[in-house]
A and B are shown apart, each in its own frame.
Chain A
């Protein structure tokens, strides 16, 4: 393309020199290469426009070739032509006269100077890689302001490089200025001529062309004699000192036939050479080439990284599937219920994925309990599991801030002049909030399903032997807390507890706290209450006796129970007592002010502190525990929602639609539709709270209570999911 453009640009210069000699004869006078060149240019015109156009084309081309500059241009190597165009294009763009004339003048000038330059040189194909050649050409083009300088630069560089290669040394191109001054060695010139013929349409090198210009009738035979080239291409720009530049001998020695006898180059040397070549190659890259190279290098790395990530995720997915499979095996009961409900065999993998996914979610949640609450491997006091918070902790902080504000209202030095009503255990007046008591509250669940008389020495002496002695405090590794100053029970109830055997004392004290917290929120049947207050426990039933003491609001019995547990229960048992109270009486999002206050007080009395209690709450419910209530202040009530008020009242909840009761049990929203994930998540937390491992320091009875509560949560989940009618 550039050649055509150049020829087109040179046509006006040579048009006036057209000769009258017939075209065919003139073609015959050309060498074979020149004829083929002219033919490639003009034959297409003959096909397209006819013989006249062909003749004109040939005539024009011949006229153009008749000028010395154009003829020499055609004989130039690719590198020389490139350098020529670069030099002239730069001048054209920077010079004052932009246009073809200036370009032509430049090219004439450059070509005329090029004739006097050393012969073009081409490196030994084994000495330079293509990239090195390109790098060399770029540097010489950049640092040369003429084609002749470019050629000298190339010659010097190639000579130096080949010399370095022959010495098995790292390629270290000399400075361009010094290289320009080095005379071209004979062997290099010879090689350059041979190489040049590859880049031109079988034209001769410049001396031959020059000779053909001088004698157009003679055949332009390629000159293979290096000596002739040396003679016909004197380098006027070189002085005598520069002609002795090193490298001439070494470039020849590289082709020595003795190379076969030389030992193979050291592997380190080869590596060093390869590295040096690589550096040169990279340095010679241009913008887009660097991008391509970078992409080529980065792409495999990216593919490897992607493969690694994919492999890791697949491994995790496989592990999760194995885990889910193991979970699904554990909950045969739920699987059977689902099978009955849906009529599908849950273990068959041929069923649709949608059903299997739901099934896996359900069974997984139910069966995950053993692992989720395997506290034995963790710090039991802290719950042993990481609990994600459902609510931001910010709320708890703000509540604490407000609580601190409310605390400021506490009297600092108020004399305790208030008296306590002696009739605390007596009947309540009409209009008392206790009027709206319910009959199916906590008491029923505690009494109906369990043999509360089990373990009573007076009723069944043999039962004590059948029970596991897990309630024994003497076997505990933890030492009991330091006894409080009061060691004598203040109430008859306290004395009665002391009269039981040691194993039973813990059980009874815990039971008292359970009823105290339950009945404090009025979770009892009014009729039952009346009966218990009349003669509860008179028949020797210790549980009725406990209920009666609680209904009588015996604060001394409460104090004795707390005191006994403080003295006799070890730390782990005290922690699990708090856990049990939360499991049995506190629903998610429904911790009443009474429950909150009691739990915080017991935590302090048990020596656990607020931090431990809040951690246990987070383990159980996955959310921070509310701050200590201040029900005596409107400011505190102003932040209580209607939803909370509803959930706090167990009696009101018991009067709701069964499905709403289930929602409350699982801490789910009381309004709106529930999706499966919400239900399963609510059940997950509820079921975690009930795991037997959380109560392994307590007795069988306490664990049975937790298991019963778990069954209630299961029922709530199944009913909400529609699994059971």
Chain B
């Protein structure tokens, strides 16, 4: 999945930040064509879509944090998770601390 927040240079998963970044014409995300930016704008124009995008963003972060579980001998990777979460991976030192 594309990490739209990361592409627009937004830390966190606040959907409002992403919307504001999209509204700012000065912000040009890397590796995105104008057509793709327009698509993201249309995507975020829907309340439900924004909501689910934000929720899935968190899940992909969680999957990225636990991706090592797929290294087990009995685990499998039928959905190419490593490829899907590549935009959500963080360095270990950047990983948020748990309480």
> Contact string, B68-99, partner A, CB cutoff 8 A, digits 1/0?
11111111111111011011111100111111
Min CB gap B33→A, angstroms: 12
A555 on interface, CB distance cutoff 8 Å: yes
B16 on interface, CB distance cutoff 8 Å: yes
> B77 to chain A: which residues have CB within 8 Å?
604
* Also in contact, A601 and B79, with CB within 8 A (given A420-B61, A552-B99, A566-B69): yes
> A169 to chain B: which residues have CB within 8 Å?
none
Interface pair B71/A485, CB less than 8 Å apart: yes
A542 on interface, CB distance cutoff 8 Å: no
* Also in contact, A556 and B87, with CB within 8 A (given A493-B98, A597-B56, A597-B59): no
> Within the complex, which residue of A409, A484, A648 is in contact with B72, where a contact is CB–CB below 8 Å?
A484
> Within the complex, which residue of B70, B71, B99 is in contact with A554, where a contact is CB–CB below 8 Å?
B99
For residue A598, which residue of chain B has the nearest CB? B59
Give the complex CA separation of A412 and B84 in angstroms.
9
> B27 to chain A: which residues have CB within 8 Å?
none
Within 8 A of A (CB), among B7-48: 11-16, 31, 39, 42-43, 46-48
> B95 to chain A: which residues have CB within 8 Å?
420, 490, 556
Interface pair B69/A562, CB less than 8 Å apart: yes
> Within the complex, which residue of A421, A482, A634 is in contact with B73, where a contact is CB–CB below 8 Å?
A482
Min CB gap A598→B, angstroms: 6
Interface pair A432/B15, CB less than 8 Å apart: yes
The total number of A-B Cβ pairs within 8 Å is 216
The A interface, classified by DSSP as helix, strand, loop or mixed, is loop
> B91 to chain A: which residues have CB within 8 Å?
416
A617 on interface, CB distance cutoff 8 Å: no
Give the complex CA separation of A422 and B11 in angstroms.
9
> B62 to chain A: which residues have CB within 8 Å?
516, 553, 555, 558-559
Interface pair A563/B66, CB less than 8 Å apart: yes
Min CB gap A433→B, angstroms: 4
Q: What is the size, in residues, of chain B's interface with A at 8 Å between Cβ atoms?
A: 64
Give the complex CA separation of A611 and B78 in angstroms.
9
Which residue among A490, A603, A629 has the maximum number of chain B CB atoms within 10 Å of its CB?
Answer: A490
A606 on interface, CB distance cutoff 8 Å: yes
Interface pair B52/A594, CB less than 8 Å apart: yes
> Contact string, A471-506, partner B, CB cutoff 8 A, digits 1/0?
000000000011111100011111000000000000
> Within the complex, which residue of B46, B52, B72 is in contact with A483, where a contact is CB–CB below 8 Å?
B72
A609 on interface, CB distance cutoff 8 Å: yes
> A414 to chain B: which residues have CB within 8 Å?
31, 86-87
Give the complex CA separation of A485 and B55 in angstroms.
28
Give the complex CA separation of A566 and B65 in angstroms.
15
Interface pair A610/B78, CB less than 8 Å apart: yes
Interface pair A482/B16, CB less than 8 Å apart: no
Interface pair B86/A482, CB less than 8 Å apart: no
Min CB gap A500→B, angstroms: 17
A153 on interface, CB distance cutoff 8 Å: no
For residue A436, which residue of chain B has the nearest CB? B51
Give the complex CA separation of A553 and B12 in angstroms.
12
> B2 to chain A: which residues have CB within 8 Å?
409, 411, 632-633
Give the complex CA separation of A490 and B65 in angstroms.
10
| Contacts beyond the supplied A610-B79, A632-B53: 16 A-B pairs with Cβ under 8 Å | A412-B83, A418-B89, A418-B90, A420-B96, A423-B12, A429-B14, A433-B47, A484-B71, A485-B72, A493-B99, A593-B52, A597-B63, A604-B75, A611-B78, A628-B79, A633-B43
- 12 cross-chain CB contacts under 8 A: A414-B87, A418-B3, A423-B12, A484-B68, A484-B70, A520-B59, A566-B69, A592-B55, A607-B72, A632-B1, A632-B2, A637-B46
Closest 9 CB pairs of A and B: A421-B12, A418-B6, A482-B73, A491-B98, A559-B66, A607-B74, A481-B74, A416-B89, A433-B51
